[in-house]
Structure 1
Amino acid sequence: MSTYMVDGKKMMNICILEILRKYTDSEHTMDQKDIIKKLETEYGMKVDRKSVKSNLMNLVDFGYNLECTEIERENKNGEIEILTKDWYYNHEFDDAELRMLIDSILFSKTIPRNQAQELIEKIKGLSNVYFSAKVQHVCNLPGLSHTDNRQTMLNVEMIDDAISEGKKVAFLYNTYGIDKQLHPRKDTKYIVNPYQMVANEGKYYLICNYDKYDNLSNYRIDRMTEIEILDEKVKDKSLVKGMEHGLNLPQHMAEHLYMFSDPAATIVLKVQKGNMGDIVDWFDKNFEVLSPKFVQNNYPDNFNPETDANKAFIRVTCSQNAMFHWAMQYGTSVEVIEPADLRERIRDAVNEMAERYK
């Protein structure tokens, strides 16, 4: 029973609403007799069917998301009356949507562990007891690290306010030391023009600009501390490369894998046709597949019709630093054709690794 007893029946409609929220959905319904039992056991209220039906209809009139089955029948006076049964609360989120929200929290590396657990409990409260039972086994995945920075969620909120108000932000930017703790990269604060926040690989980033430069930079929000909103207005977006006509976020993300901030360059890759799914996963569809004729004319030294029958040449715009790490990750499945300096950098790194592990 509830820790408090409802005085009279003034709050009956609210109590009925809470019972339906907690115990019902489209697969778990309640009739009026079931609601009467719950009112007595949880709120100490003894009521009749007529009162329950009246309050249910009031809740429907008030616009609450209640559903029921209506049945017509003829009473003893020969009149048609409507009976209702199978009442349930139509929750704002279904179980699959709530599970997706929980999974997104579990996979986020920017939410501290304790805050992640608190958020999951709040999300569970958006459904009923049956959903809570389903996710009792939910836990943080082994090896999945969450940030130690408890200011992360506050940072997101403050940056969101700064962007909305068109104000600059200042913050200390930190890196991990050998003691596994965050330490400021420098004693003075970074001052930037904030334009957009994005989530990438389970981490939040701020896309911003320094006044003395005209390009965009990316900073991890979970590495920021002592953030503050300044009174200064942000630089006009038209003065920043890539922002002249507003930020094209999909293009920016494709050009800045791993959120490196070096200028994007045109890169030609030779990839296994069977790996095109990985190309789309990383670059969406922001790349061009070069025709065999174009490849033969422009890259004759890198194309062999016999051995490269299952290969495709693609052209993409991307950070060279990001492409270096990405190409090293995919090994023999990806070959950088140009630019030459990036191709040479990857070749040197591969040779160094081979020498090291002889």
Structure 2
Amino acid sequence: METRQPKKMIPSMILEILRTHTDENHTMDQKEILDILNQEFDPPLDRKTVRRNIEYLVDMGIPVSYTETPRSNGTTVWTDFYLAREFTESELRLLIDGLLFSNHLPYKRCLELIEKLESLSSEHFKSHVKHIKTIPDNEINNKQIFYTIEILDEAISDEKQVTFHYVNYGTDKKPHPKLGKDGKPLDYIINPYQMAAKDGKYYLICNYDDYDEISNYRIDRITDIKILDKKRKPFSKLKDSNGERFNLADYMKTHINMYSTGDTRVRFMIVPRMVTDIIDIFGKDVRFEEETKDYVTVSALVTEGAMLQFAKAYSPDVVILEPQRMVDEMKDWAKKVKKIYG
């Protein structure tokens, strides 16, 4: 009877068996591997063939793990074979959870990516994604997001400008490009510096070329993107850069909610139960200056727009104390609210 598979395929077939059926908690011995191989070979292979080809995989640098037991005759027995994985199951579950609860990807696309992540482990890995659904199902209409990210990554690496159209949603729940004075979609010319994820959304941190301030744009609202030949404006030339290179960690600490206004030292008062929330939102660089049983005084470097929005959202548990211009703005807002509901 003829061999159904050429013997030169044996190493790749063993590797596929280990990839599909094994992990650190599920191992195989030579006989189990041989039984699967012999479904494709006639005359059948023997255990020495399995051992020899596994040794070949190990010599090639393939991460095949095994237990080596010495015999009394000086030889060794290899058992408990499994393919060592680059990601642990807990790491894969963490990545899958991040996809499931993201707001910037369509749910169907999340499932496609989850299938790819699952393939990085064995058949024994169970993510239970069939029983999980994002609520609400915020599927965006922009199908270009992965292409947009790819183009932005290339432009940032090559330090090139990009141009694109930017959309907002109308009452018809459909995206509409922002229009210029001529009634046509406005061409944004942008100096891109970094992409960042915040609250389940992707943002482009950049500079709109007509100005010298930092801007943030939602990547899922970018369409028709193109790389330009012109070099981008150096970040150190922007007004808020203090002549330094872009530092994403520092930027994210001060730009809660991705507002792109300038940074300001703000003092505000909170109720004691909000201390944990403040650290979660502002990070550990905040200063707690005074504490009583009724309130805690906080000092933080933050963008004005983000801080005003934060104070409005958590009023009256958050009260801005300084600077005065922000106090006055909160008073004006409070009067408007009182008038509306009065």
Q: CA RMSD in A?
A: 2.0
Question: What is the aligned partner in structure 2 of residue 83 from structure 1?
Answer: 77
Q: What's 1:170 paired with?
A: 163
- TM-score, with length taken from structure 1: 0.87
Partner of 2:45: 47
Q: How does 1:274-353 map to 2 (within 5 A)?
A: 274-290=273-289, 308-350=292-334, 352-353=336-337
- Pairwise CA distance, 1:111: 1.8
d(CA) in 1 for partners of 2:4 and 2:59?
23
Matched, 1:201 2:199: yes
Opposite residue 40 of structure 1, the aligned amino acid is N
Show CA shifts across 1:100-136 (max 9, x none). Answer: 11111112222223221111111111111011x3434
Q: Which runs of 5+ in 1 are unaligned?
A: 293-307
For 1:334 and 1:326, how far apart are their aligned partners in 2?
8
Q: Secondary structure of 2:315's match?
A: helix
Aligned residues: 333
Residues 251, 286 of structure 1: 8 Å contact kept = no
Q: 1:283 Cα deviation (Å)?
A: 1.1
- 1:95 corresponds to which of 80, 89, 100: 89
2-side partners of 1:328 and 1:138: how far apart?
A: 37
Aligned to 1:257: 256
Q: Is the 8 A contact 1:106 1:141 kept in 2?
A: yes
Match of 2:182 in 1: none
For residues 317-355 of structure 1, give each alpha carbon's deviation from its aligned partner in whole angstroms, at most 9, with x where no partner exists. Answer: 222221122122223332111223323433444455456
Distance in 2 between residues matched to 1:262 and 1:6, nearest whole Å: 68
Conserved? CA contact 1:169–1:229, under 8 Å: yes
Which runs of no fewer than 5 residues in structure 2 stay unpaired? 180-184
Following TM superposition, by how much is the alpha carbon of 1:160 offset from its aligned partner in structure 2, in angstroms? Answer: 0.6
| Deviation (angstroms), 1:139 | 3.4
Label 1:344 to 1:206 Cα distance change in 2 as closer, same or farther (>3 A): same
Separation in 2, partners of 1:331, 1:168: 41
User: Residues 236 and 246 of structure 2 are in contact (CA less than 8 Å); yes or no, is this contact kept in structure 1?
Assistant: no
Q: Which amino acid aligns with 1:202?
A: G
Shift of 1:183: 0.6
2:193 maps to amino acid = Y
TM-score, with length taken from structure 2: 0.91
Match for 1:279: what amino acid?
Answer: I
- Provide the secondary structure at the position in 2 that maps to 1:33: helix
